[in-house]
Amino acid sequence: MGRASTALAGERKTLSFLSNSEDMRSGFGKWGIVRNYGSRSELLQQGTPADDVYLIHDGLVKLVWGDATGKQTILGLRSSGCLIGVAAVVTAEPCAMGAVTLVPSVLERITAEKFLHRLQTDSDFAWKIHQIQSREVHEQLNWLAEMACSSARSRLGNVFRRLTEIGNVHTDGKKSRVRLPLKQKEVAELIAVTPEHLSRLLHDLSRAGLLHLRNGWIIIPNSQALAAI
């Protein structure tokens, strides 16, 4: 593998999980209503207008898309520092996807009117939003490339490795563990495999000593070894 390919593969390790660093969040301030949301709270509904934009202060949100038959898939996960609902508010079109919290989360809810007013009158704020949205497009395109070119085993390893990066991790030497915020069916949706195939993948990774699922915990004996698959 060439240097460029290696760099691209490294980028793809972060796909489907978007979280922004502190510098990306600076300057927003508390200009909405900050409140706690329980696990599985619906923030946006596919096909309906967005009345608000949400800034994630803490927690994890899944983006879901479904068809008329009720079949659905998870398009990605969003964590601390991310904005939810911007595209629908700016375009004044119905939400292209739904958004649901996966864990108890702290979110800042900003009305569409207030968000648009600041976007149109505050150039620094507008540039910050442009940066965040551009990063999201960049990472989502890389995620599509990973879905098309990487093996399901590699995608699964990346998902669990990223969950340990954005979750509350307990470490013991090289070993790390974190609570799994997704149901196994949701993990299968996220990496685009059937639940049955996911079970086989989990068994293979466990047998190889790369990761284990125990009582709702992801246990990774060596994160570097997992990242190398």
- Predicted local distance difference test score (pLDDT) of residue 37: 97
Tell me the residue type at 64: V
Task: Report the percentage of the chain scoring pLDDT > 90.
Answer: 47
- Predicted local distance difference test score (pLDDT) of residue 15: 43
Say if residues 152 and 197 touch (Cβ distance below 8 Å): yes
pLDDT at 85 over 90: yes
Q: What mean pLDDT is predicted for residues 19-34?
A: 60
- Predicted local distance difference test score (pLDDT) of residue 14: 43
Residue with tokens 């964590």: 79
- Encode 39-76: b = buried (16+ Cβ within 10 Å), e = exposed: eebebbebeeebebbbbbbebbbbbbeeeeeeeeebbb
Say if residues 82 and 56 touch (Cβ distance below 8 Å): yes
pTM here is: 0.80
Whole-angstrom distance, CA of residue 134 vs CA of residue 149: 23
Domains of the chain are: 3-147 (2.60.120.10), 151-227 (1.10.10.10)
Q: What mean pLDDT is predicted for residues 81-89?
A: 94
- Predicted local distance difference test score (pLDDT) of residue 142: 83
* pLDDT tier, 24 (very low <50, low <70, confident <90, very high otherwise): very low
